Amino acid sequence: MVIEIGKHFDLLPPLCKGMKIVLIADIALKKLYAEKLAQHLNALLIYIPSGEKAKTREIKQQIEDQLFKAGCGRDTVILAMGGGATTDVVGFVAATYLRGVPLILIPTTLLAMVDAAIGGKTGINTEFGKNMLGSIYFPKTIVFDYEFLDSLPEVERMNGMSEILKMGLIANPELLKGVDIERAAKTKMAIVEQDPYEKGLRRILNFGHTVAHALERLSNYTIPHGQAVAIGCVVESYLSLSLGYLSRKDFDQIETFFPIYRLPASYKRKAFLQAMTADKKNKGGQVRFVLIDQIGRAMPFDGEYCRPVSDKELEGTLSYMEKRYG
């Protein structure tokens, strides 16, 4: 995984040299970027739907069949241009096409730059949940072209900001001092490189997400990811406080980093607890949380980097959440 920063028009030709090129792009980028780039690179161009609608078995199969029909062999490089949903599904295609072909990611949202495109997680959804199928597959290169961010909607900016702040809380307090996209991406990369298959350390990236995923599920995925993560980070910091790990002083500061959003209208404590037990990192049915003992440091818990928390231990934290965000 190498990040290259600059104009994608200039960076890509040398990266793809001598290979057959396929550009798979979010259809929303057609007019502004994708057509021009495909022409510039003389690439086969495939469009996929915007957002989560692209993350299905059907779209994966459609892409694969287009690659087969075009006779794409192992000398093909696949370029994924779009947000996190695009890099997720296209990354999964690249991971399994002929058992893996080279992949270059061109993330076009802040969230994709600092999170989805970094770390090799690829995946699609099924009727049973999000990212239920996928693999860990690393791109050769990730191209950062900040021009894409000029037209980024506010909700998208906030999705990325929440993840940057999360990485500040668990690993790198510098990230809490001002937006630094490259530093955020490299913070995540350093964690992933130490534990690509999430046997331990990588779990800290789930900080805030046990709560966030449950909120997303409860809202039927209508709450923006960045809002859910912002709430999750503060709530899981409160949990760290209530369990005696985090100081009140640090917690009070953490509260100030995040805007206050509203819980989904459908929020009910019992349903929320149930939604949390479906979390992927659970073991034996108990909900496990990543916790911090100071700003910038997730707790190791003997290499597990998370610990089970009982419903009883959660009570005060849920009351806090309901009061602050209800």
Residues near a second copy (CB under 8 A): 57, 61, 64-65, 68-69, 73-75, 92, 95-100, 121-123, 126, 128-129, 131-136, 197, 280-284
Q: Which of 52, 198, 304, 322 is catalytic?
A: 198
Please confirm, yes or no, whether 154 is among the known catalytic residues: no
Catalytic residue chosen out of the listed positions 55, 60, 121, 183: 121
Spatial separation of the C-alpha atoms in residues 318 and 252, rounded to whole Å: 17
- Determine whether 202 is an active site residue: yes
Give the other-Cβ count within 10 Å of 188's Cβ.
23
CA angle (145, 150, 152) in 5-degree steps:
100
Q: Which of 184, 20, 214 is nearest to 101 (CA)?
A: 20
CA angle 180–182–184, rounded 5-degree value: 70
CB closer to a second copy, 266 vs 286:
286
Are 286 and 313 within 8 A, CB to CB? no
**Active-site residue 8, yes or no?**
no
Q: State which residue, 50 or 282, has the beta carbon closest to a second copy.
A: 282
Q: How far is the CB of 171 from a second copy (least distance, A)?
A: 22
- Nearest approach, Cβ of residue 28 and a second copy (Å): 27
Residue 188 falls in the annotated catalytic set:
yes
Q: Yes or no: say if 40 and 9 are a contact pair by the CB < 8 Å rule.
A: yes
Q: Is 225 a catalytic residue?
A: yes
Sorted by sequence, the CB contacts under 8 Å of residue 69 that are 6+ apart come out as none
Nearer to a second copy, 244 or 284 (CB): 284
Q: Annotated catalytic, 121?
A: yes
State which residue, 46 or 234, has the beta carbon closest to a second copy: 46
- The answer to whether 323 is a known catalytic residue is no
Q: How far is the CB of 134 from a second copy (least distance, A)?
A: 5
Q: Closest Cα partner for 306 from 214, 169, 167, 201?
A: 201
Catalytic annotation, residues = 99, 121, 163, 188, 198, 202, 206, 209, 213, 225
